[in-house]
Amino acid sequence: MTPLSDSTLTGSDALHSEAQASLVKRYRSYLLLERAYSRNTLDAYLRDLDKLLLFLGSASIRPEEATLNDLRSFAAALHDVGIEPRSQARILSGVRAFYRFMLMENLIENDPSELLESPKLGIYLPSVLTVEEIDRMIRCIDLSRKEGQRNRAIIELLYSCGLRVSELCNLKLSQLYLDEGYIRVCGKGNKERLVPISARAVKELQLYFIDRNSWDIPPEFQDYVFITVRRHTAAIGRIMVFRLIKQLAEEADIVKNVSPHTLRHSFATHLLEGGANLRAIQMMLGHESIATTEIYTHIDRHRLRQEILEHHPRNIQNH
């Protein structure tokens, strides 16, 4: 198969045959309706599928005709154009999902991706902020600005509740149960979970609502918790939250790579280090598998060593 360039693999506006376009449309409906994926996840799956279809199309191979060797060649091409191993693994996971769909729809008799291997990955541990660093970021917020108290509430909610940035942006007033001390979060796959909210986060929200109540908010955005206040009024977006976190980290002289996910990871890590049960953290984060929680939360090694020394029968001295 002819080696491909980076531009060939990353093109997103390729013209597919009518049959192929119909197949992609069916797959999109499946992801949207049956898997209930969010818009961002759906777009990512379709972009990755497009890479595969472009690759197979360069050799005049229809997706239902692809063999394991064809898919391995595709995996090798991802490596050759410099795509990172973690991104390779995500793309190949999407390839497997596509062929499982084809098998389920009786479009193929055998799944060629069944033995397709992903690159081996080491455990990736995102940066963790200390409580002092988070407090420094909060102190950098200028409360004299119209959006100042809103930004304090955003930081506190991301950290105190461990929310994904998409969950924060889509949070509705009707999902807040502040008197009872929890919020109802709609996570991946439209799965709902109840997350406790700290007294500090409740206070920051209530102070923000004093400002928010004076804003002229269009009816379609009135149920959203976090609203933009510059240029136009709308529900806050993911990019705006990313920029806010980056800016505050820079102003707080934090040299780590900080994003909204850093606050989520810090939430889980601090809970674990404080002795919280891993299953409880899994539920609060909305992870389907506890294996995901174990990746996101690294254990304080000193505390783990002390636990082993104190409780393992070989370390307990006989008196």
| pLDDT of res. 281 | 81
| pLDDT of res. 125 | 63
**Domains in the chain: ranges and CATH:** 6-104 (1.10.150), 131-305 (1.10.443.10)
| pLDDT of res. 309 | 66
pLDDT digit string, tens, across residues 147-197? 999 999 999 999 999 999 999 999 999 999 999 999 999 887 778 899 999
pLDDT digit string, tens, across residues 56-92? 988 889 999 999 999 999 998 888 888 888 889 889 9
Is 261 considered catalytic here?
yes
At 87, list the tokens: 């991104």
From 16, 246, 261, 298, the catalytic residue: 261
From 150, 212, 264, 265, the catalytic residue: 264
Neighbours of 178 (CB within 10 A): 15
What predicted TM-score, i.e. pTM, was given to this entire model? 0.62
From 90, 96, 188, 203, the catalytic residue: 188
Tell me which residue of 75, 72, 67, 29 sits closest to 51, measured CA to CA.
75
Measured between alpha carbons, how far is 77 from 9 in angstroms, rounded to an integer?
Answer: 8
Report residue 34's pLDDT band, with 50, 70 and 90 as the boundaries: confident
3-state helix, strand, coil in the chain (%, to 5): 55, 5, 40
From 51, 150, 152, 164, the catalytic residue: 164
Is 232 considered catalytic here?
no
Left, alpha or beta for 171 (phi > 0: left; psi -120 to 50: alpha)? beta
At 177, list the tokens: 């149960």
From 150, 152, 265, 287, the catalytic residue: 287
Is 264 considered catalytic here?
yes
Is 188 considered catalytic here?
yes
Which of 10-24, 72-86, 125-139, 247-261 comes out lowest in average pLDDT? 10-24
* Strand, coil or helix: 248: helix
Sequence-distant (6+) residues with CB within 8 A of 254 are 129, 133, 136, 137
Tell me the pLDDT of the chain averaged across its residues.
84
Quick one: average pLDDT of 223-232? Answer: 86
